[in-house]
Amino acid sequence: MKVIIDTCVWTLALRRKKSKTNGHVKELEELINEVRVQFVGPVRQEVLSGVKLKRQFDILKKHLSAFADLPLSTGDYELAAEYYNLARENGIQGSNTDFLLCAVSARHKMPIFTTDQDFTHFQRVMPIKLHPVRAAFQ
């Protein structure tokens, strides 16, 4: 089963001073090896945004091109808006990208791999699943 990788996990893995013992980084590496990584366009945009040097941007863009984006539909955006409203009614805040990931996760029945604790709140009101770090990497 494919796993949607959130921006925060990519950012953690791509840091220059990343910890080789970080469980989230090890889990991402394993998911890559298993060809289970699912990219979503808005996450690609977030990962590439803010890269200061053009050369670094081009290198990162080339590396990320190995991962195809899941095509998004009008239904994904409509469901994301519905989730935004549902969360707001329940006193839960999040970003538009977060709600889009939740919509894609629910529609395609793919778990989300994230370090963002907001997603545990989203789970209370949305039918999403989170991908855990394997016990071997904790």
Number of other residues whose CB lies within 10 A of the CB of residue 114:
21
Task: Provide long-range contacts, Cβ within 8 A and 24+ apart, for 6-14.
Answer: 6/43, 6/101, 6/112, 6/113, 6/114, 6/115, 6/116, 6/119, 7/43, 7/46, 7/47, 7/97, 8/114, 8/115, 8/116, 9/113, 9/114, 9/115, 10/43, 10/47, 11/47, 12/115, 14/47, 14/60
* The pLDDT value given to residue 19: 64
* The pLDDT value given to residue 98: 98
pLDDT tops 90 at residue 17: no
Least confident of 3-12, 19-28, 66-75, 91-100: 19-28
Tell whether domain 3-137 is in CATH 1.10.3720.10: no
* The pLDDT value given to residue 20: 63
pLDDT tops 70 at residue 21: no
pLDDT-based confidence at residue 16 (cuts at 50, 70, 90) = low
**What average pLDDT is seen over the chain?**
94
* The pLDDT value given to residue 136: 82
Average pLDDT on 52-62 reads: 95
Classify the phi-psi angles of 116: left when phi > 0, otherwise alpha if psi is within -120 to 50, otherwise beta. beta
pLDDT-based confidence at residue 54 (cuts at 50, 70, 90) = very high
* The pLDDT value given to residue 111: 98
Parse the chain into domains and list their residue ranges: 3-137
Residue 84 · residue 96 · CB < 8 Å: yes
Query: Tell me: the pLDDT tens digits for 105-133?
Result: 999 999 999 999 999 999 999 999 999 99
Average pLDDT on 8-14 reads: 93
